[in-house]
Chain A
C-alpha cells in the first residue's frame, strides 16, 4: 500500500546523525516503506496501546527503525522512532 512518510523533529535529528552506510540503509527502508507500507517492516510489538501500534525493522548492526501507527486499522498515519518518521497511507 503506497504510504506517505513523515519525520518527527526528533527523528530528523537522528537521521542527520547517521553515517553514509546507515543513511543509505535508512533511505532504502523509507523507499520500501513508502511503496509497501507495513509489509516492509519486520515485526509488530506486543503490549497495550500505543505499543501494539508499533512495528520494528532491523537494518544494520544494532540499528533499527520503529514505526508507530496512529491507527492500526486501515489507512492512517504511522511513525517511526529511534530513527523516527511518520507515515501516512
Chain B
C-alpha cells in the first residue's frame, strides 16, 4: 500500500496514486507546455526556412516566368496548410513579447485567424511580418517597430490599388484641375 511507504495523510486514508506529490503534476504540466512550445516553434521555424528557400529560388526567375509563380504558390500553400499559430509561438518567431504580438493583432498588423475561444494568428501573416521585422532590424530600425511594420504593410497594399495606379497615369499625362492655386506673388 502506497500509504505505508509515505505515511498516510493526516486524518485521511491514503488514496490510490497518492504516492505522487501533487505539486509535481503542475510542474510536469508546465514542463510539458514548455516542451510543446519549443517543439512547435522549432517546427514552424523549419517551415519558414523551407518556404524562404523556395521564395529565394523563385525570385531569381523573371517576373513573367511561370515557374516563379508556381514556386511562390507552393510556398504559399505550405504556409496555408499550417493554418494558424498561437501568439506565444508567433512572439518567439518574431523575437517580440507575446503582449506585443497581441497588440499587433489588435492593430491588424498580424491577421487574426480566430479570436474565440482563444486567439490564433494566420501563419502567412506572421511569415510576411517576420520578413519586414528582419529587414527593419537589419537596417537598425528597431525603434517604433509597430509603426514601421504597419506603414510598410499598408503602403504595399496601397501600391497595389487600381485607383492609385490610375491616378499616377493621369499625372503622367498631365490631366488635372487646380484646387489650390499658387499665390500671385510666387508665380
A residues with a Cβ closer than 8 A to B are 2-12, 14, 30-31, 33-34, 43, 45, 47, 50-51, 56, 66, 68, 70, 77, 79, 81-82, 84-89
Whether A3 and B167, one on each chain, are in contact in the complex, defined by CB atoms closer than 8 angstroms, is: no
Complex contacts, B11 vs chain A, CB 8 Å: none
Whether B182 and A50, one on each chain, are in contact in the complex, defined by CB atoms closer than 8 angstroms, is: no
Q: How many residues of B contact A (CB 8 A)?
A: 22
Separation of A75 and B151 alpha carbons in the complex (Å): 27
Q: A9-B175, A43-B151, A56-B155 are in contact. Are A4 and B167 (CB under 8 A)?
A: no
B residues with a Cβ closer than 8 A to A are 151, 155, 158-159, 161, 163-164, 166-168, 170-171, 175-183, 186
Complex contacts, B166 vs chain A, CB 8 Å: 10
Separation of A70 and B167 alpha carbons in the complex (Å): 13
Separation of A3 and B177 alpha carbons in the complex (Å): 14
Complex contacts, A89 vs chain B, CB 8 Å: 182
Complex contacts, A50 vs chain B, CB 8 Å: 168
Separation of A84 and B175 alpha carbons in the complex (Å): 12
Q: A82-B161, A88-B182 are in contact. Are A6 and B176 (CB under 8 A)?
A: yes
